[in-house]
Amino acid sequence: MSYVNNIRMFVRVYELGNMSAAARDQRVSPAVASSRIAELERYLGVRLFNRTTRALSPTEHGELFYDGACRILLAIDEAEAAVMEATRSPKGTLFVSAPLGVGRRFIAPAVPAFKHQYPEIDIRLRLSDRVIDVTGEGLDLAFHLGPLGDSDLKIRVIADCPRVLCAAPSYIARRGMPADGQALIDDRHDCLNLRFPGAKEFQWTLQTDRGPRRFEIRGPFESDDGDVLTAWALDGAGIVLKPVFEVAEHLARGDLVPVATATPPLPTQLASLSPSRKFRDPKVRLFADFIAGRCKDALSALHSGYTMRSD
């Protein structure tokens, strides 16, 4: 398998443009990554990359070899997937990412049950609220909460997720209850913002009588962790925009209360994303199906409970 591993390393170095990044992606040291590329170059008798102290770029031979290398890896992946599907014994390692709120509440708790059912599949789960480059980071599957744009990825919508603007009673007592999105602006309410590199939503889009409208909100605090925003809201620091499933328990207890209800936020979507060639792998589909089922059941219970309390 060393030749195949060398080809995989070459493809990731080519795509990431950096030896250290490719080494991290393939879970090896930079020295091992460099030796694999050198071994491949010796075998082919050509130089695949131009190296300087600051940059690494493919040579003409490297450009030629990349397309063929991708076809080789695709053929191997498809052959392995066909064998595993035929023998009903999927095995290997899955690299998965998810937003913090979704990952902590739904995906991480389901991993042991999945492992019990499929003991030869290992899961490597990364949780982050930042924007994820599924292909660039070498992921097999990513769970995404938010708007879905055009993509070459295999996209599967799992559920629509209602959202709510809410704040602690202590904040309302101090600053008053905003009736709608305009009041957030006019009364200069403290809004708690989810911000991270690559974040695109710097406004809150709310439903008005005239349709969706973006409101330019302000606030003293920002974080790239959605659960931190919830904690700040519970402490009375401001108003937060959250998926209902993340704050359902707090709403039920009255620790948080809905605000600006005349202009509710638009729902968002929970979806899974995977590179098309990787979605052919049975273990990817199995995990995607398993988590989708768990998420749908849990979200349905949470959302129906919230609807009943809101009526």
Residue 101's contacts (CB-CB under 8 Å, 6 or more residues apart) are 129, 145, 226, 227, 243, 245, 246
Architecture of the domain made up of 163-266? 3-Layer(aba) Sandwich (3.40)
* pLDDT, greater one: 170 or 304: 170
User: What is the pLDDT of the chain when averaged over all its residues?
Assistant: 86
* pLDDT, greater one: 147 or 222: 222
- Dihedral sign of CA atoms 247, 248, 254, 260 in order: positive
pLDDT at 87 (0 to 100): 54
User: In whole angstroms, what is the distance from residue 36 CA to residue 206 CA?
Assistant: 52
* pLDDT, greater one: 197 or 97: 97
Q: Place 70 in a pLDDT band, splitting at 50, 70 and 90.
A: confident
User: In whole angstroms, what is the distance from residue 221 CA to residue 232 CA?
Assistant: 9
pLDDT at 88 (0 to 100): 63
- Beta pairing class for 211-215 and 222-223: unpaired
User: In whole angstroms, what is the distance from residue 228 CA to residue 215 CA?
Assistant: 22
Q: What percent of the chain has pLDDT over 70?
A: 91
Domain extents in the chain: 2-86, 89-158+270-310, 163-266
Residue 308: exposed, middle, or buried by beta-carbon count in 10 A (0-12, 13-18, 19+)?
Answer: exposed
pLDDT at 308 (0 to 100): 41
Name the 3-class secondary structure at 57: strand
Selection from 140, 101, 155 nearest residue 286 by Cα? 140
Q: Give helix 244-253 / helix 226-234 axis angle, nearest 10°.
A: 20
CA 244 to chain centre: 18
User: In whole angstroms, what is the distance from residue 120 CA to residue 166 CA?
Assistant: 43
* pLDDT, greater one: 29 or 77: 29
User: In whole angstroms, what is the distance from residue 190 CA to residue 217 CA?
Assistant: 8
Selection from 268, 269, 266 nearest residue 292 by Cα? 269
Residue 170 scores a pLDDT above 80: yes
pLDDT at 278 (0 to 100): 76
pLDDT at 309 (0 to 100): 46
Same fold, 89-158+270-310 and 163-266: yes
pLDDT (average), residues 13-33 = 86
Q: What is the CATH number of domain 89-158+270-310?
A: 3.40.190.10
pLDDT at 165 (0 to 100): 96
pLDDT at 167 (0 to 100): 97
- Do 198 and 130 meet the contact criterion of CB atoms below 8 Å apart? yes
User: In whole angstroms, what is the distance from residue 75 CA to residue 71 CA?
Assistant: 6
Architecture of the domain made up of 2-86? Orthogonal Bundle (1.10)
pLDDT (average), residues 163-180 = 96
Task: Return the DSSP state at 202.
Answer: -
* pLDDT, greater one: 289 or 87: 289
Give me 308's structure tokens: 């009943």
For the chain, how many residues are written? 311
* pLDDT, greater one: 71 or 240: 240
* pLDDT, greater one: 31 or 80: 31
pLDDT at 173 (0 to 100): 96
Most confident of 60-64, 124-128, 256-260: 256-260
* pLDDT, greater one: 156 or 83: 156
